[in-house]
């Protein structure tokens, strides 16, 4: 397993204001998708399980789209 040369998101701390630096770092990590990648690679997922999970998510998205496009029910 090779390690990349980049060290990830960095933030400079100015005037000892650690709260602002933490907020900026959290935002950079969230935007970069670093945390999602780490959580996804935390445990091995079999290819069949991954396909099944993705297929279920796609079905849920499709059903939600159908439900949102449905005409409203009449209340009279």
**Residue range 50-74: mean pLDDT, rounded:** 93
Residue 47 has pLDDT above 90, yes or no: yes
| pTM for the structure as a whole | 0.52
Interatomic CA distance for residues 24 and 13, integer angstroms = 10
Interatomic CA distance for residues 55 and 44, integer angstroms = 18
Residue 1 has pLDDT above 60, yes or no: no
Interatomic CA distance for residues 64 and 54, integer angstroms = 15
CB 22 within 8 A of CB 9: no
Domain-by-domain residue ranges, the chain? 18-69
Q: What angle do CA 17, 23, 32 make, to 5 degrees?
A: 135
pLDDT > 90: percent of the chain? 34
* 18 vs 61: which has the higher pLDDT: 61
């Amino acid at each position: 397993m090779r390690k990349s040369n980049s060290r990830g998101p960095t933030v400079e701390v100015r005037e000892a204001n650690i709260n602002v630096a933490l907020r900026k770092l959290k935002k950079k990590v969230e935007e970069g998708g670093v945390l999602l990648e780490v959580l996804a690679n935390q445990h091995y997922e079999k290819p069949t399980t991954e396909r099944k999970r993705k297929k279920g998510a796609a079905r849920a998205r499709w059903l939600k789209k159908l439900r949102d496009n449905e005409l409203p029910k009449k209340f009279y």
